Amino acid sequence: MKKRLLIISLMSMISLFAFSQDKLYFHNGKIAEGKVIETSDIFIKFIYKGEDIVNTMSRNALEKVELASGRVMELSQKIIIESPYDYDKVRVVYDKNEVLGLKSLGQIEKHSSGTWSFSITAGHFSEKTLKKIRKEAAKRGGCIVLILSSQSKSGTLFSAGHASMTGEIYTY
């Protein structure tokens, strides 16, 4: 009798471990169960419970992952934008893999120009334009901006400096 009870409890424990799932906690409050296949510095690949399709999700979209083994991987801090004045919290990225799984709020294009001075570099105008993009993203409630294109030119004796950037705003 004791032997039978031991075998039954052992079998149930083995089945629990065989069917245990990883849990993915998203910044938007959703929790998904599945199996993590691969992790990198930028994204995580996983399969939802009951599916065979491999999904790729940016680490920026996930707060943490609880693995079936019990280990917890902290992935990213949630960026909270409460007003347009939080523009300095807006994160700027240049790789489209860093926004996988985030919700797009639309594209944005901003320009900056200035005097025809040799002392003001193209970097000055790029910083100015990037600040405008971050302010607009915060105004729309976005927390991450993917820069799609960027151009800048220093001022010369006969022409003013100029910078132009296009980006896409994302939120959770």
Residues 118 and 150 in one domain: yes
| Residue 1 domain flag | no
Q: What is the mean pLDDT of residues 21-48?
A: 94
Q: Which one of 74, 95, 118 terminates a domain?
A: 74
For the stretch 96-150, pLDDT in tens is 999 999 999 999 998 877 655 554 555 666 788 899 999 999 999 999 999 998 8
SS3 161: coil
Q: Is the pTM of this model over 0.85?
A: no
For the stretch 39-72, pLDDT in tens is 999 999 999 998 999 999 999 999 999 999 999 9
Calpha distance 92→165 (Å, rounded)? 12
Residues 90 and 147 in one domain: yes
**Domains: count for the chain:** 2
CATH number assigned to the domain comprising residue 35: 2.30.30.100
Residues 88 and 159 in one domain: yes
Calpha distance 84→129 (Å, rounded)? 16
Residues 157 and 88 in one domain: yes
What DSSP element (H or E) covers 133?
helix 122-140
Calpha distance 132→153 (Å, rounded)? 17
Calpha distance 103→142 (Å, rounded)? 9
Residues 108 and 164 in one domain: yes
SS3 30: coil
Whole-number pLDDT of residue 128: 84
Whole-number pLDDT of residue 15: 45
In the chain, what's the furthest Cα-to-Cα distance? Answer: 97
The b-or-e profile of 43-67 (16+ CB within 10 A means b, else e) is: bbebbeeeeeeebebbbbbbbebbe
| Residue 136 domain flag | yes
Residues 55 and 93 in one domain: no
Residues 66 and 90 in one domain: no
Q: What is the DSSP letter of 111?
A: E
132 φ, ψ to 5°?
-65, -40
- Whether residue 18 is predicted with pLDDT greater than 80 in this model: the reply is no
Q: Which domain holds residue 167?
A: 84-171
| Residue 48 domain flag | yes
For the stretch 74-88, pLDDT in tens is 999 999 999 999 999
Whole-number pLDDT of residue 5: 57
